[in-house]
Amino acid sequence: MFPIEKYHMAESVQDAVRALAEDENARVIAGGTDVLIRLHEGHKDYRNLVDINSLDALRRIWQEDDGSVCIGALASFTEIMDHPLVQKFVPVIGEAVATVGGPQVRNRGTMGGNICNGAVSADSACAALVHEVDLVIENVDGERTESVIGFHAGPGRVNLKHGDLLKYFRIRPENYLNMGAAYYKYAMREAMDIATIGCAAGLHVTDGAISELRLAYTVSAPTPIRCAEAELAAKGQPLNKTTLGNIAQTVEQDVKPRTSWRATKEFRMHVIRTLAAKVITNAAWKIGEKIA
């Protein structure tokens, strides 16, 4: 039996925010994929739950007038990958969440949970980082917007304060238009594995040169990261093999992989370098560009 002492099914966002504000021990349960596992392990932090599953408003995926694509925090992985707006404008987000194994998991898992649990291996994190998604958050003091850049604070930690409720993700047009984006999940095997290394690239190309590269990794540092040095090395460079080689070398300065029982640091670094070239190549292909 889960040691739940208080359970509140929120009826509205305001109700949820109020319930969270009233109880300093209250935790949000969204898809439940992670919370339920922690409860099963007997974590005592999860005794008071505010369930937001009835908030259908948070399940929507829509486009705003300025072209921003919005994904509700409660939209399931299945809903995200199947949605025409996602497929048309931000397909890499759909591709990333599709790597989560099993319909029964994808039907329940949410991008809100995937980002808010702060997992270093979160499949949607790389794609969120290259699209520089905004997180629209509400608490009793009102609504605020934060960028996913800098949102991850450490292993399993994010910049959410008690009482905060993530409502939706917003991807502004400047963060997806004319950008080729790709994601690759390197896992020990195909089946239901967490990423050994995850890598996403977002690429803008002008006249055969990289006008902007956004390169993100999971499981390569204590949090999902963007690679400032590698991105700088790419800027203005011709889209060719030499540049990819340089990026792959430079990315070593951005990452801090570590040795675990699954893989040594040297091996992870090799994969990180290799994926940089591979994922940028795939991203280029998405906008009809080829590596010279």
In the complex with another protein, which residue's Cβ is closer, 145 or 261? Answer: 261
Handedness of CA 8, 9, 15, 20 (dihedral sign): positive
CB of 209 to another protein, least distance (A): 24
In the complex with another protein, which residue's Cβ is closer, 155 or 236? Answer: 155
What is the longest distance spanned by two Cα atoms in the chain? 61
In the complex with another protein, which residue's Cβ is closer, 211 or 246? Answer: 246
The answer to whether 200 touches 183, Cβ cutoff 8 Å, is yes
Question: In the β-sheet with 197-206, what is the strand arrangement from edge to edge?
Answer: 180-186, 197-206, 209-218, 225-226
In the complex with another protein, which residue's Cβ is closer, 31 or 224? Answer: 31
| CA 83/CA 4 separation, integer angstroms | 35
CB of 260 to another protein, least distance (A): 8
Task: Give the distance from CA 107 to its chain's centroid.
Answer: 17
CB of 69 to another protein, least distance (A): 24
Interacting residues toward another protein by CB under 8 A: 1-4, 7, 9, 29, 31-33, 36-37, 39-41, 49, 51, 53, 101-105, 107-108, 186, 188-194, 261, 263-264, 266-267, 270-271, 274-275, 278
DSSP string across 122-163: -TTHHHHHHTT-EEEEEETTEEEEEESTTTEEETTEES--TT
CB of 116 to another protein, least distance (A): 16
In the complex with another protein, which residue's Cβ is closer, 29 or 115? Answer: 29
Task: Give the distance from CA 119 to its chain's centroid.
Answer: 10
CB of 90 to another protein, least distance (A): 21
